[in-house]
Amino acid sequence: MTRTLVVGLGSIGSRHARVLAELGCDVAAVSARAHAALATYPTIEAALRDFEASYVVIASETHAHRRDLGALAALGFSGTVLVEKPLFADAAAALPEGLDAEQVFVGYDLRFHPLLVEVERLLDDLAPRAAHLAVGQHLPGWRPERDYRAVYSASRARGGGVLRDLSHELDVACWLFGAPRRLTARGGHHSALQIDSDDSYALLIEHERCPLVTVQLDYLDHQPRRTLRVLADETTIAVDLVGGELAVYRDGVRTHAQRVALAPDDVYIAEHRALLGAADDERLPCSAADALRVMRVIGAAERAAVEATWVAL
C-alpha cells in the first residue's frame, strides 16, 4: 500500500485524496483543517516525520507550490511528486535545489483524456498546418457555491488568471505540436469582473510541428467550451471536450467519429495509476521540464502583450 501525502485540502486536493484512497493508497494530508477520514498535519515537515510517504501530491494554491517543493527538497525527499498545474505562479521560477527534475510531475491531466490521446495518434499520419485551441467559462458560474471574487482565480498574487488557471491548453499545444518557437499575444483584464487577474488572453504561437497555433483563454464565456481543431491539407480534426466528441473530416465528409462519456475523476485516476505503476501503458504525466516550458510560454505571452511584439522562445 503506497503511502501518499496530499498537501492542501481545497476542492482539488480533496479530489486527489479521495481518488488515491479509492486506488488503495494510505492517504494523509497537510491542512489547517481537520478531516474526518484522513490523518492531517500542520506542515510537510511534521507529516513526513510521522507518515513517511513515498508519493506527495502538492495541491496547495499556485503561489505556494515553490514553497512546498522547497520544503520537500530541504527534507531530502526522494519519492515521486505530483504538483497541480501550473507549476509556479512566477513564470521565471525554477525547481528548488535538492529536487531531481525526474521525480517531479505536473497535473496537466488532459494528456490522459482519451479524445486527445486519439488526436495524438491521428497526428502520426498528418502534417498539421494550423490548430486552434479554445477554453472559456464565466468565472462566477465556475464555482457557484462561492463568491468568485474570493477564489484564487480572481487574484494575481495567488496565482490566478487565465494564463495560469487555464494553462492546460498551453501544455496540450506543446505536447501535440512540439516545442514553441515564438509567439505573440494580447490579453489582460478587459471585463467587468471584479478581479485583479487576467480574464482573457489570445495567443498566436509558432510550434515545431505546426506553424500556426492559436490559443484562446477566458473567464467570460457564458457557454462553457473546451475545443480543439487541427487543420491539415485534406483533413480537419474537431474535438469538443465539453460534449465528449471527436470528428475527422476529409473533403467535407465526416470519416471518423468518437464519443466518450468521462466521469469527472477519470483523468485523475489515469494520472495517478501512471505514477503508481498500475497503468496499462507507459504514458506518464507532464514532466517538470515540460511544465517549465509552459511557464516560459506564459512569461513570453505576458511580455508580448505588454510590448505588442513577437517573443522568441
Q: Which residues pair with 228 in a beta bridge?
A: 133, 239
Identify the pLDDT of residue 143: 84
One domain for residues 69 and 148: no
* pLDDT, position 231: 99
Question: Are 205 and 133 within one domain?
Answer: yes
Helix axes 11-22, 266-275, angle to 10 degrees: 60
List, as one string, the DSSP characters of 80-134. Answer: EEEEPSSS-SSTT--PPTT--GGGEEE--GGGG-HHHHHHHHHGGG---SEEEEE
- Residue 156 DSSP class: T
* Same-domain status, 236 and 302: yes
The answer on 65 and 146 residing in a single domain is no
Given 106, 122, 153, which residue is the final one in a domain? Answer: 106
pLDDT, residue 281, reads: 72
32-36, 189-193, 228-232: range with lowest mean pLDDT: 32-36
Residues 43 and 174 in one domain: no
Over residues 150-172, the mean pLDDT reads 95
Q: Which pLDDT band holds residue 31 (cuts at 50, 70, 90)?
A: very high
Q: Are residues 172 and 287 in the same domain?
A: yes
Phi and psi at 139, nearest 5°, equal: -55, -40
The reply to whether omega before 86 is within 30° of 0 (cis) is yes
Burial 117-145 (b: 16+ CB within 10 A, else e): ebbeebbeebebeebebbbbbbbbeeeee
Q: How far apart are CA 20 and CA 53, in angstroms?
A: 13
**Contacts of residue 187, Cβ cutoff 8 Å, sequence gap at least 6:** 162, 163, 198, 200, 201, 202, 203, 217, 301, 305
- State the pTM of this model: 0.96
Instruction: Produce one character per residue of 83-100: b if its CB has 16 or more CB atoms within 10 Å, e if not.
Output: bbbbbbbebeeebbeebe
- Assign 170 to helix, strand or coil: helix
Model confidence at 279, pLDDT cuts 50, 70, 90, reads: low
Looking at 80, 106, 132, the residue that finishes a domain is 106
CATH number of the domain residue 55 falls in: 3.40.50.720
Domain termination residue (choose one: 90, 106, 122): 106
Quote the domain boundaries for residue 59: 3-106
* Structural domains counted in the chain: 2
Q: What is the CATH number of the domain that holds 161?
A: 3.30.360.10
